[in-house]
Amino acid sequence: MGFAPGSVVVNEIMYAPLGEEPEWVEVMNLGGESVDLQRWRLSDANPASAAEVKQGVVLPPEGLLVLAQDSAIVRAFQIDPKALAVVTPWPSLNNDADEITLYDPLGQVIDRVPYRASWGGDRGISLEKINPDIPGRDSTNWASSAAPEGATPGRRNSVFARVLPSETTLTISPDVFSPDGDGRDDLAVIQYDLPLSTATVNIKIYDMRGRLVRYLANNRPAGAHNSIVWDGRDERGEVAGMGLYVVFLQALNAQAGVLTTQKKTVVVAGGL
C-alpha cells in the first residue's frame, strides 16, 4: 500500500550552496502517522536520476528530515545528525530552474516542486516554503530564507506561516532592561509579527528627542513571525544612556504593495 500524495512534502531547498557545502532538500511529514523513509527516492527533472534513501529513518507527524549530498551540512548548519539522511548518488540540482520529485517505495509521486530561481533562494540562501499545506507548484508559496545563516535545515522555516497575523504587532521583553553586563535583563528581545508572508524590514531606535540611536535592522528579510535583540548599544557601540527610547518598525512587501509600521517604547535603566 502506497502513501497519499502530499503526505510528505518538500519544505526547503538548497540548490546553490556556498563553497564546498552540499546541496540538500528538506522534507516534512504532513500525515497523521510516522513514516519510515527507507527506500523513498528523490530525483531532479530527470527521473532516471532518482536516488534512494537507503537507511531507515522514521519521520514523525510534522517532523523534518534533511536529504543531503553528504554529511557536511551537519557542520555548516549545526543540525542534529538524526535529522539527516545522506542520499547517493545525489541528483544534481540546477541553479536557474529544476524539478524535484519525491517518490514513495512503490514509485508513486508524493510531491513535486518545479522551482525556478525567480521563486527565491540564492548563493548560500535556501528556498523555503511558507505554508507547508499549500501544493509545491505554487510559486507564491516560496521565498528566500530570512534566517541570518541563510537557511533553516531541520527546523521551522524562517518564513513559515500557516495563518498570517491579522495585523502588525510589536512586543518588547523586558520593556525595562539594564545593559550593564551583570547577566540580568541585559538584552531586550523585540518580537514582531507581520500580516505578510515575506517582507523587508527596517527597525530604528530613537531617543525622546527624535535622534537616531541605533539602526537595528536595515532591509532585513523577514517572514510573518520574527524577533531581534537590542543590546542597549548605539551606532558607535557604546551603551545608550538611561531613559525612554522608541523602537520604530517598518515592513515592506513591494510585490504586494504593502507598507506597515508599528512603534513601541522601551526603557534603558541602570542596575536592576
pLDDT band, residue 197 (cuts 50/70/90) = confident
In angstroms, the CA 99 to CA 88 distance is: 18
Torsion sign over Cα 30, 18, 120, 161: positive
Contact 227, 191 (CB under 8 A): yes
Q: Residue range 178-185: average pLDDT?
A: 92
In angstroms, the CA 120 to CA 242 distance is: 42
Q: What is the pLDDT of residues 200-240, one digit of tens each?
A: 999 999 999 999 999 999 999 998 999 999 999 999 999 99
Contact 110, 35 (CB under 8 A): no
**Is 254 a residue whose pLDDT tops 80?**
no
The grid coordinates listed for 110 are 508524493
> Which residue's entry shows cell 523513509?
37
What domains can you pick out in the chain, each with its CATH number?
Answer: 8-144 (2.60.40.1260), 169-268 (2.60.40.4070)
Nearest to 198 by CA among 229, 157, 240: 157
